[in-house]
Amino acid sequence: MIHSIAIVAVVALCTFATRIAAFALFGRSRTVAPVVRYLGDVLPCAIIAILVVYCLKNIDLTAVPFGLPELLGVAAVAGLHIWKRNNLLSIGLGTILYMFLVQMVFV
């Protein structure tokens, strides 16, 4: 019990420290530093690209089903996002489609 409380306390302290670090580093000025603005523009796309590569890195294109469930899942996510512009919807339905394909169709 004490171990669990200690873990929660350390996590809470680290979370608080990272939240306060932005104010300590950049001050309370209303202007956003150019480096922060640049990172805010670049990092979301870079992180998504890294996640896609990480998720698709172990696909075996030489064995059945030749990466078809993954390809259909990625296509569903991309298509839904282009159509609806809703991250939660596109990722959620794409994941459901992928799980359905690997558990029911490509068994």
pLDDT at 72: 96
Q: What is the pLDDT of residues 53-96, one digit of tens each?
A: 999 999 999 999 999 999 999 999 999 999 999 999 999 999 99
Q: Taking the C-alpha atoms of 8, 14, 20 and 24 in order, what is their torsion angle to the nearest 10 degrees?
A: 160
Statement: residue 99 has pLDDT above 80: yes
pLDDT at 31: 81
Cα 18 to Cα 10: distance, rounded to the nearest angstrom: 12
Indicate the DSSP class of residue 61. T
Q: Is the pTM of this model over 0.85?
A: no
Q: What is the pLDDT of residues 21-35, one digit of tens each?
A: 878 877 777 787 788
CB 59 within 8 A of CB 34: no
